[in-house]
Amino acid sequence: MKIVDIRETAIPLKSKLANSSFDFTEMTTSVVAVITDVMQDGKPVAGFAFNSTGRYACGAAMRARFIPRILAADPFAAQVFESLLTRPWKPVFATTGALQP
């Protein structure tokens, strides 16, 4: 599996919640689509995620730093990413030198 595109957009939370520290009515969050080269029913397989609510959208940092690094990653890094999807504990053990499960 290869990541061929990563798309990010900011959306408003539209929440009426507020506390003494935060007014969520103006808060945004980043929604991300990760598109792969894997095809299913003639369409690329994609994964979707959003960042934690209670934080503002972080698209500028993603577009400037994180997305280009992921798209430029070597094949080994892509294998690690794929392993994270199927066995999240495995790369941690591999990179820390801990015993393999």
Q: Give the residue extent of every domain in the chain.
A: 3-96
- What fold does the segment set 3-96 form as a domain? Enolase-like; domain 1 (3.30.390)
pLDDT of residue 49: 87
pLDDT number for residue 15? 77
Distance CA 37, CA 45 (A): 7
Residue 97: left if φ>0, alpha if ψ -120 to 50, beta else—which one? left
Report whether 74 contacts 63 (CB < 8 A): no
pLDDT at 59: 87
Please indicate, yes or no, whether the overall pTM of this predicted structure exceeds 0.75: no
Low-confidence residues of the chain: pLDDT under 70:
52-54, 75-101
Q: How many CB atoms lie within 10 A of CB 73?
A: 15
At residue 99, the pLDDT reads 46
